[in-house]
Amino acid sequence: MSAVGRHSRILRTVVEPVPDAGQDDDLATALYREFGRPLLAFVITLTGGDRLWAEDVVQETLIRAWRNADKLDREPEMLRAWLHTVARRIVIDGWRSRRARPQEVEEPDANSVGVPDESDRTLAAMMLYEALQTLSAEHREAVLQTYLHGRTVNEAAETLGVPPGTVKSRIYHAVRALRRSLRERG
Distance CA 94, CA 23 (A): 31
Rounded to an integer, the average pLDDT of 126-131 is 85
Residue 123, pLDDT score:
82
Residue 115, pLDDT score:
66
Nearest to 76 by CA among 5, 23, 27, 16: 5
Helix 21-46 and helix 76-100, axial crossing angle in degrees, nearest 10: 60
The yes-or-no verdict on residue 20 having pLDDT over 80 is: no
Report the chain's terminal Cα–Cα distance, integer Å: 71
Rounded to an integer, the average pLDDT of 28-56 is 88
